[in-house]
Amino acid sequence: MPERLGILGGTFDPPHVAHVVAAVDARAALGLDRVLLVPAGNPWQKEGRVVASAADRLEMVRATCAGVDGLEACDLEVRRPGPTVTADTLEALDAPGRELFLLLGADAVANMGTWRRLDATRSLATVVVVERAGESARPPGEGWRVAHVRIPRLEISSTDLRDRLAAGRPVDGLVPPAVVRVIRRRRLYTAR
């Protein structure tokens, strides 16, 4: 049986519980052996809007995955120099006996037209569109292998969490407790 490997990329600035729900629901729905959470090393599409360092975001992703069945932090993109391109990551993870599933929220799918090396992406992985109630999206063009997974609508975003933290408001319950501890210990997202 081939290994079925899920990949959830993101900025994770910071990671939150909706990321966890997306990963575990996709894993359950598609029978994935593991889902890797892969923080982008250099998210060129968010130039100037990324607040925490790659090392801090990786540490928070590690804290997110600890103790959650089937979730693992992956440091591949953080260690790779240059702009982060998903196809490069898929190529690095591609292996005989392994099938790749690229998990994307509907907003990320809608943005795929801007991606680099889209043809390579299409040939390397099945796109899993993680849809909240009322959402749907398809990758641009033809020939994609696509799966759809419905998850509960959770109105949580990293942008909102950064605003909350900068304003001194709590984020407990919105991010895993272990991530709250990393944020406090490293004094992340406090007002500059």
Paired residues of 10 in beta bridges: 39
DSSP 8-state assignment for residue 40: -
Supply the minimum distance, in Å, between the C-beta of residue 63 and ligand ATP. 15
Q: Which stretch binds ligand ATP (CB under 6 A): 15-23, 25-33, 86-94, 181-189?
A: 15-23
Q: Does 11 bind ligand ATP (CB under 6 A)?
A: yes
The helix (H) or strand (E) run that includes residue 158 is helix 158-166
Among 5, 7, 18, 90, binds ligand ATP (CB under 6 A): 18
The helix (H) or strand (E) run that includes residue 105 is strand 98-105
Cα separation of 179 and 186, whole Å? 11
Q: Are 55 and 78 in contact (CB under 8 A)?
A: yes
Residues 28-87 that bind ligand ATP (CB under 6 A): none
Paired residues of 177 in beta bridges: none
Among 5, 6, 12, 26, binds ligand ATP (CB under 6 A): 12
Q: Which stretch binds ligand ATP (CB under 6 A): 81-89, 100-108, 141-149, 172-180?
A: 100-108
Residue numbers at the binding site for ligand ATP (CB under 6 A):
10-13, 18-19, 22, 104-105, 107-108, 130, 132, 154, 156-159
